[in-house]
DNA sequence: CCCCGTCCCGTGAACGTTCACGGGAACGTT
DNA sequence: AACGTTCCCGTGAACGTTCACGGGACGGGG
């Protein structure tokens, strides 16, 4: 009489084990089972143990949906990332997870595998599973709007037009200016750039570079494209030096590309920073692992992730959203061995 | 008469907007609203549009809990990772996300921040939010059992005792043996190792190294501990060379440590691989970024992640679980410039 | 004129849990 | 003996959605 028959021996064994089954098996009511499982106190010790045993015996697991329906306390946000293996996004994701955990939120992560066409599908699926979304999107704003149906969204590193969106701006103007200033101070006058390739419009970082170069009376035209990978950085550097052999310093779209350029420079026999100075963008931890360590216009990825989470939180609780000027991450030059 | 009053102007504005509100506002029934929103067909074009407008006007968003309760189709798994910023775990996580996405599952990611005491809290919270768990756990198996209450679990890189757990075994014996063999063939006889520090028991990788060294008649005692970071690898190498100056080759616990050792070797003025050969473990993409590229006993992280997801899937659908011999990832030597 | 089919829409029921309330038993107090 | 307290426990209701079913309106064919 200690326990009734266990396992799948009921009339239809495919049905889910509910709180009712446990109650019946333990000879008590639903509410008592609920009390036992949730550690409420209006219950006798022996009864509690009996219920717990019955639950274990039947393999009972409460339905998160039913529970979530009645107590509206769990919030879940979606994090959309183009490529988790890219160290930059890894850091942003880690920071976002950190901030979310501090608030007791759950984070569902989606990796769109760098395919913009995946974004819509993801959005559609996400829309019915989370309370808000944070992340990177490359598709059109109207498309975003169509698929998210009024869900709070925070876009990272991208401008927004519609009021219901929010976005974290990345301001690298001062940082890039400082980088060019530093290179000039070191005596460089022929400064090139490895820009993002495969994009319709020239990158913002390219604009910042151009402005900084012009401010120092430097020709900003020495630019080559590079695919977003270390190999891409290597090839980009070869192309740049092929077209502009006079270049003695390079600013790159990001650190991955910079690391590739660094590796290629070594292979070409050019000493860094003596014969070729390199400054990246992002300030990844990765930059400290290579030799010489990478100088970079560093972004505070921790701040980036936490700002995004903070803002989506305000949007979905209805609190005052952060003003645009607070939603800005300023990049600043961090010098190491490579420049 | 196009649309009723919008915004929060009801009697109590704090209540959630339900499908009922939309129905009332559009002058139809719940079911019709449901039809419009879910793209069912038994509905007239104009009605559908009217409902959609009303929904948008009111800012209606369906409750994922209510929906999940009635249609039992969405499955969500939890992914528990000690430190997402660690490139190895990043790769495993990315692979797991990939596999889950292919199955249409959602993945909630938890980063325990390398603190074992966080695991229990995570587990407790996770238990009521996901259908199954995949990941790394360092705490006791009984503790795991206590907090998960019969939820399917797949442990990675760790043995299990209880039947309800499943685990992915990592077999590096042959790979480490091959690594040592290769070093011996290159003429090395004084081979050291940088092991994981801060662990109660010596690591499995250490055991594999010891066995391989003995098989070649090599003293396996030249070992130093290293913290799990690049800096740790550097310090470890200094300690190892301090205690055993005769060492000409090093096998490390993992690639991060190896990269640190590589960097330190350069700083010490020892040429790699001529004066110091280095072989890591894990086979991270990171290894290709440093100079010289890192040789490593490589793990197929993609397989690792997909196996774990596959197995947790079988456990929670009740399909035949994969047998232990299929739940094994074999590491194999991948040579590059560093050895 | 009746019957049947198609198109569109609405009504009860169910999903599985927790909350608010009520109530009986045992015990002590006036 | 009547009454208040404390300790356990059970019963309706509610959460918000979808499914299964039923039914009215309309049109066409016999």
Percent of chain B with pLDDT strictly greater than 90? 73
Instruction: Return the DSSP state at A324.
Output: G
Q: How far is the CA of B23 from the C1' of D26 (A)?
A: 25
pLDDT band at B203 (very low <50, low <70, confident <90, very high): confident
pLDDT band at B8 (very low <50, low <70, confident <90, very high): very low
The residues, any chain, with a CB within 8 Å of residue A309's CB and separated by 6 or more, are A77, A96, A99, A100, A103, A105, A134
Over residues B197-226, the mean pLDDT reads 91
Q: Is A75 on the interface with B (CB under 8 A)?
A: no
Task: Output the pLDDT for position B299.
Answer: 96
Mutating which of B67, B106, B230 best tests the A interface, going by the most A Cβ atoms within 10 A? B106
Q: Is A65 on the interface with B (CB under 8 A)?
A: yes
Q: Is 3.40.50.2300 the CATH classification of the domain at B76-171+301-330?
A: yes
Reported as a single tens digit per residue, the pLDDT across B222-246 is 999 999 899 999 999 999 999 999 9
Reported as a single tens digit per residue, the pLDDT across A79-108 is 999 999 999 999 999 999 999 999 999 999
Reported as a single tens digit per residue, the pLDDT across A299-330 is 999 999 999 999 999 988 878 889 989 999 99
Give B-chain residues touching A84 at CB under 8 angstroms: 90, 93-94, 97
3-state class (DSSP) for residue B166: strand
Return the ∠ at Cα B110 (arms to B105 and B114), rounded to 5°: 145
Q: Residue A1 to residues A4, A5, A26, A27, B60: CA-CA distances in angstroms?
A: 7, 10, 10, 11, 51
Instruction: Return the DSSP state at B104.
Output: T
Q: Is 1.10.260.40 the CATH classification of the domain at B1-73?
A: yes
**Alpha carbon A170 to chain centroid distance?**
14
Reported as a single tens digit per residue, the pLDDT across B107-131 is 999 999 888 888 888 888 888 889 9
Closest CA to B219 of B174, B182, B249, B255: B249
Are B288 and A230 an interchain contact pair (Cβ–Cβ within 8 Å)? yes
Reported as a single tens digit per residue, the pLDDT across B295-305 is 999 999 999 99
Task: Output the pLDDT for position A122.
Answer: 86
How many residues does this entry show for chain B? 339
Reported as a single tens digit per residue, the pLDDT across A284-301 is 999 999 989 999 999 999
The domain at B173-299 falls in which architecture? Answer: 3-Layer(aba) Sandwich (3.40)
Query: Which positions 140-199 of A are in contact with B (Cβ < 8 Å)?
Result: 149-151
Task: Output the pLDDT for position B14.
Answer: 65
Which parts of chain A have pLDDT scores under 70? 1-14, 200
Task: Output the pLDDT for position A14.
Answer: 66
pLDDT at B136 over 70: yes
Q: Is B67 on the interface with A (CB under 8 A)?
A: yes
B134 or B3: whose pLDDT is higher? B134
How many beta carbons lie within 10 A of that of residue B239, not counting itself?
Answer: 14
Which phi and psi angles does A326 have, rounded to 5°?
-90, -15
Residue with tokens 């360092």: B138
Task: Output the pLDDT for position A4.
Answer: 36
Pair B134, B77: CB distance under 8 Å: yes
Please state, in angstroms and rounded to a whole number, the distance separating the CA atoms of residues A30 and B158: 38
Give A-chain residues touching B149 at CB under 8 angstroms: 55-56, 61
Closest CA to B288 of A309, A85, A283: A85
How many residues does this entry show for chain A? 339
Reported as a single tens digit per residue, the pLDDT across B247-297 is 999 999 999 999 999 999 999 999 999 999 999 999 999 999 998 999 999
**Range in A170-174, B97-101, B147-151 the model is least confident about:** B147-151
B120 or B330: whose pLDDT is higher? B330
Instruction: Return the DSSP state at B311.
Output: H
pLDDT band at B22 (very low <50, low <70, confident <90, very high): very high
Sequence spans of domains, chain B: 1-73, 76-171+301-330, 173-299
Task: Output the pLDDT for position A1.
Answer: 33
B118 or B136: whose pLDDT is higher? B136
- The strand pairing partners of A277, in sequence order, are A249
pLDDT band at B13 (very low <50, low <70, confident <90, very high): low
Interface size between A and B, measured as CB pairs under 8 A: 129
Tell me, yes or no, if the two domains B76-171+301-330 and B173-299 fold the same way.
yes
């Amino acid at each position: 009489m200690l326990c009734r028959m266990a396992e799948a021996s009921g009339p239809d064994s495919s049905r889910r084990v509910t709180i009712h089954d446990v109650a019946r098996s333990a000879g008590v009511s639903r509410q008592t089972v609920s009390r036992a499982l949730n550690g409420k106190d209006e219950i006798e010790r022996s009864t509690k143990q009996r219920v717990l045993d019955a639950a274990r015996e039947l393999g009972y697991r409460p339905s998160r949906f039913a529970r979530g329906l009645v107590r509206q306390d769990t919030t879940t946000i979606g994090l959309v990332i183009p490529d988790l293996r890219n160290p930059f996004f890894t850091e942003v994701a880690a920071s976002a997870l950190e901030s979310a955990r501090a608030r007791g939120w759950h984070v569902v992560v989606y990796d769109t595998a760098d395919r913009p066409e995946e974004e819509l599908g993801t959005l559609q699926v996400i829309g019915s599973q989370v309370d808000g979304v944070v992340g990177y999107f490359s598709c059109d704003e109207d498309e975003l709007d169509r698929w998210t149906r009024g869900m709070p969204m925070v876009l990272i590193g991208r401008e927004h037009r519609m009021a219901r969106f929010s976005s974290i701006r990345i301001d690298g103007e001062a940082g890039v200016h400082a980088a060019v200033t530093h290179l000039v101070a070191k005596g460089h006058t022929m400064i090139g750039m490895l820009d993002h390739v495969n994009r319709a419009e020239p990158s913002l970082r390219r604009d910042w570079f151009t402005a900084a170069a012009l401010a120092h009376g430097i020709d900003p035209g020495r630019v080559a494209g590079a695919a977003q990978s270390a190999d891409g950085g290597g090839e980009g550097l070869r192309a740049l030096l092929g077209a502009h052999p006079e270049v003695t310093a390079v600013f790159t779209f990001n650190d991955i590309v910079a690391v590739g350029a660094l590796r290629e420079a070594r292979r070409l026999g050019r000493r860094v920073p003596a014969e070729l100075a390199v400054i990246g963008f992002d300030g990844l931890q990765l930059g400290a692992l290579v030799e010489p360590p990478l100088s970079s216009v560093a972004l505070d990825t921790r701040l980036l992730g936490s700002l995004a989470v903070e803002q989506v939180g305000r949007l979905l609780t209805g609190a005052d959203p952060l003003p645009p000027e607070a939603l800005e991450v300023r990049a600043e030059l961090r010098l190491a061995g490579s420049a």
